[in-house]
Amino acid sequence: MTDNHNHQQIAVEAIKKKLVGKALSYHEIFAIMDEIANKRLSPVLTTYFAAAGFKEGFNDEELYYLTRAMVATGPRLHFKGIVADKHSTGGVAGTRTTMILVPIIAAAGYQIPKTSSRAITSPAGTADTMEVLAPVTFSPKQIEHLVSKVGGCIVWGGHLGLAPADDVIIQIEQPLAFESYDKIIVSIMAKKVASGTTHLVLDVPVGPTMKIQHVHDAEIIAKKFSFLAKKFDINVVIDLNEIRQGAGRGIGPILEARDVLQVLEQHKHRPLSLEAKAIRLAGKLLTLCNKDLVGENVARDILASGKALAKMREIIKTQGGIYIRAVMSMR
């Protein structure tokens, strides 16, 4: 009997165990993640595991084991010093704050290798919107080079193989357009650990049409994020905000890209709600990186001065794209 077969048996037994609501050990969770990451576990069994997690949930230690195992079964990015990052639990169409925040943070002198997803439960992911302006598919080594050159990037995380089991589970969940809360937490934190993140702002929108619909649930999720961040030595600040509609005007990659460019260019007809949210999140991240900074003031100055726009142009050019002014993208 081969080691692979033994590993698969451990994974299958662990899935059965989780289906009846029992807690799993790190050894069992690693076996499942390893089988999924190496595509040795069938789609049916992978679906059973995803469904078991949605039904029963995971305790804090299991969340830690899942995150750790997802990271251990894939490659990692390597940077020195402070590595800033931002993520949203998602579900808000037309609110592309990441593409405003990244150039602000990079212009402030902090590394920010932003790996983003394509659409899962909304019409566009950040990677889809960035792809309107520049290529987003790069290898880990290429990303490290991009960040060393211009301080930041906005790329598609799905191509990198960071936390590879997570990408397989996302494909399983996509037809149903749902993710369990625990899966959202693990998915985000595994990617952050694998990306080398040291300082993280988490955007947790709450509302009737969001992934997280109730403040009580959001508070529980925030505690789980904080628990995992502490386990992996990540400094985190969580922005829990109630929301009923997107902060931008457009929905879909092209229109969301136009919203982003209007804010960066300080166009007189820019979506001010999107600008305000981006400044708030960027400000919290800047203060987290340097407690002596009044983060929101710094973020606002970088945006108003044109430094964020200049940095976004650098990022687009370095990723192989061509900058298009917002007024041109409206035609």
Cα dihedral value 327, 308, 129, 150, nearest 10? 130
Write out the two tokens for 167: 């990408």
Query: What CATH number has the domain spanning 84-329?
Result: 3.40.1030.10
Q: Indicate the domain borders of the chain.
A: 3-57, 84-329
- Which pLDDT score, from 0 to 100, does residue 155 have? 95
List the chain residues with pLDDT less than 70: 1-5, 91, 119-123, 174-179, 326-331
pLDDT attached to residue 148: 96
CA–CA dist 52, 35 (Å, integer): 17
State residue 301's pLDDT score.
Answer: 98
- Alpha-carbon torsion 175, 180, 182, 185, what sign? positive
Answer whether 0.95 is exceeded by the pTM.
Answer: no
Q: CA 221 to CA 206: how far, in whole Å?
A: 11
Report the amino acid identity of residue 163: A
Can you give the pLDDT at residue 209?
74
The predicted structure's pLDDT at residue 331: 47
